[in-house]
Amino acid sequence: MQKSIQKYFVLFALPGLLCFAIAFLVPMVMGVVLSFFKFSTVTDGTFIALENYRRIFINDDFTSALWFTVQFTIVSVITINMGAFFLSLLLTREVKGTNLFRTIFFMPNLIGGIVLGWIWQVIINGVLLKSGVTIVSDPKYGFWGLIVLMNWQNIGYMMVIYIAGIQNIPHDLIEAAQIDGAGKLTMLKSVILPSIMPAITICSFLTLTNGFKLFDQNLALTAGDPGKQTEMLALNIFNTFYGRSGFEGVGQAKAVLFTILVAIIALTQLRLTRSKEVEA
Partner 1 sequence: MKKHLLIALMIVSLAMSTALFAAGSKESASAKEVYFLNFKPEIADVYESKIAPAFEAETGIKLKVVTAASGTYAQTLKSEIAKSNPPVIFQTNGPVGLKESKGYTADLTNTGFYKILSDKSMALTDEGKVLAIPYAVEGYGIIYNDAIMRKYFALPSKAVSITSADEIRNFATLKAVVEDMTKHKSELGIQGVFASTSLSAGNQWRWQTHLVNVPLHFELRDANVPAGSKVPEIKFTYSANMKNIWDLYLNNSTTAVGLLGSKSVDDSMAEFALGQAAMVQNGNWGASQILGVKGNKVADADIKFLPIYTGIAGEENSGLNVGTENYLCINSNASVEQQAMADQFLTWLFSSETGKQFVKNDLMFITPFNTFKDNELPTDPLAKEVIRWMNQPGVNSVPWAFSVIPSEEWKNQFGAALAEYSVGRSTWAQVEKVAVDAWKTEFDLTN
Give the interface with partner 1 as residue ranges (CB under 8 A).
8, 11, 40-44, 58-59, 121, 125, 129, 131-138, 222-228, 242-246, 248
Looking at the Cβ atoms of 208 and 250, the one nearer to partner 1 is 250
Distance of alpha carbon 229 from alpha carbon 238, whole angstroms: 15
Looking at the Cβ atoms of 244 and 276, the one nearer to partner 1 is 244
CB of 142 to partner 1, least distance (A): 10
CB of 256 to partner 1, least distance (A): 19
CA dihedral 272, 276, 277, 280 (to 10 degrees): 180
CB of 254 to partner 1, least distance (A): 15
Looking at the Cβ atoms of 201 and 222, the one nearer to partner 1 is 222
Q: DSSP letter string over 99-163?
A: HHHHHHHHGGGGS-HHHHHHHHHHHHHHHHGGGT--TTSSHHHHHHHHHHHHHHHHHHHHHHHHH
Looking at the Cβ atoms of 106 and 144, the one nearer to partner 1 is 144
CB of 139 to partner 1, least distance (A): 10
Q: How many C-beta neighbours within 10 Å does residue 82 have? A: 13
Using DSSP, state whether 174 is helix, strand or coil. helix
Looking at the Cβ atoms of 82 and 129, the one nearer to partner 1 is 129
CB-based burial of residue 91 (10 Å sphere; 0-12 exposed, 13-18 middle, 19+ buried)? buried
CB of 41 to partner 1, least distance (A): 4
